[in-house]
A and B are shown apart, each in its own frame.
Chain A
Amino acid sequence: MSHGSLYFKVSESSRLFEGHFDGAPILPGVAHVALALSACASRAGRARTLTAVRDLRLKRPLRPGDEVEVVLTEDVDAVSVKFEIRRFGESVTVGRLQFDPAEETSRD
């Protein structure tokens, strides 16, 4: 089991805020998944094909300019990664990503 943290700033000018929502912009929930995927790709040095999401809990919204830490923990089966997004140490989102096993094992 390995661990890793990556840090991101949610750009104030991200187009993901456009229309979501007028006057009260928050990052769409799927963008939290995109953040976690970016962290997984960065750590693996390659893109990974997402096949499933399990027990994703969006506990707090992310707003323009937020700085976040994405903490990754690989499961024992090596095709799943648990993640937690934190902002100033406060848990924002947790979940588990599952990747294409054929793609993962072919790279071992």
Chain B
Amino acid sequence: MTDQAGACGPELLPHRGTARLLTEIVRWRRDFVEAIGEVSAAHPLASAEGAPSFLGLELGAQAAAALEALERSASTGDRAPTTGYLVRVHEATFLMPDLPIETPLYVTAQLEGAAPPLAIYRITIAVDGMEFVRARLSTYRST
């Protein structure tokens, strides 16, 4: 496991403002990342009840993109973020209808396979040890 915990800064993701859900990298290795995210109360999909659980797919995609940026930075020294896109959700299960807002969301992304610029990840989102979302998704990284 690579010891590079820390804030998820602009060198990892191009998302800004409320669009940026990922806040902190807990740990990562070549094919796996554990991170923390949060949905701002000001997010356009948030309400007093929370945020829809499917927003966890965006958080998972951001974790996957951050992992790719960390790996690229470690291997080439390139610290500029590239834009990635969620292109497919093979399957996603929402175990709770809403994600809490302004609350740490623990996200993991496990790389299952890649044929650049496409990659497949299995992601999970949990709150206080309780799983809220699990999914398998594909991302596309622009060059």
Chain A residues with CB under 8 Å of chain B are: 14-16, 18-22, 24, 26, 28-31, 33-34, 37, 49-59, 61, 95
Would you list which residues of chain B between 38 and 81 have a CB under 8 Å from chain A? 44-45, 52-55, 57-58, 61
A-B contact count (CB 8 A): 90
Once the chains bind, are A58 and B93 in contact (CB under 8 Å)? Answer: no
Q: Is the interface of B mostly helix, strand, loop or mixed?
A: mixed
Chain A residues positioned under 8 Å from B93 (CB to CB): 51-52
> Looking at the complex, which one of A20, A33, A51, A57 makes contact with B15 (CB distance below 8 Å)?
A20
A30 vs chain B, min Cβ distance (A): 5
A45 vs chain B, min Cβ distance (A): 19
> Looking at the complex, which one of A30, A49, A54 makes contact with B58 (CB distance below 8 Å)?
A30
Given the complex of chains A and B, what is the CA–CA distance between A29 and B45 in angstroms?
A: 13
Of chain A, the residue at the smallest CB distance from B20 is A19
Chain A residues positioned under 8 Å from B53 (CB to CB): 50
> Looking at the complex, which one of A34, A52, A59, A95 makes contact with B45 (CB distance below 8 Å)?
A34
Once the chains bind, are A54 and B91 in contact (CB under 8 Å)? Answer: yes
Given the complex of chains A and B, what is the CA–CA distance between A14 and B15 in angstroms?
A: 16
Chain B residues positioned under 8 Å from A29 (CB to CB): 57-58, 61, 85-87, 89
Given the complex of chains A and B, what is the CA–CA distance between A57 and B137 in angstroms?
A: 10
A-B contact pairs, 25 of them (CB 8 A): A15-B44, A16-B44, A19-B17, A21-B16, A21-B83, A24-B83, A26-B85, A29-B57, A29-B58, A30-B45, A30-B57, A30-B58, A33-B57, A34-B52, A34-B54, A50-B52, A50-B53, A50-B54, A53-B91, A53-B92, A54-B90, A54-B91, A56-B88, A56-B92, A58-B85
Given the complex of chains A and B, what is the CA–CA distance between A6 and B92 in angstroms?
A: 24
Chain A residues positioned under 8 Å from B92 (CB to CB): 52-54, 56
Once the chains bind, are A51 and B94 in contact (CB under 8 Å)? Answer: yes
Once the chains bind, are B52 and A57 in contact (CB under 8 Å)? Answer: no
Would you list which residues of chain B between 10 and 28 have a CB under 8 Å from chain A? 14-20
Once the chains bind, are A58 and B86 in contact (CB under 8 Å)? Answer: yes
Chain B residues positioned under 8 Å from A18 (CB to CB): 16-19, 44
Chain B residues positioned under 8 Å from A95 (CB to CB): 89
Of chain B, the residue at the smallest CB distance from A20 is B19
Among A15, A18, A49, A56, the most chain B Cβ lie within 10 Å of the Cβ of A56
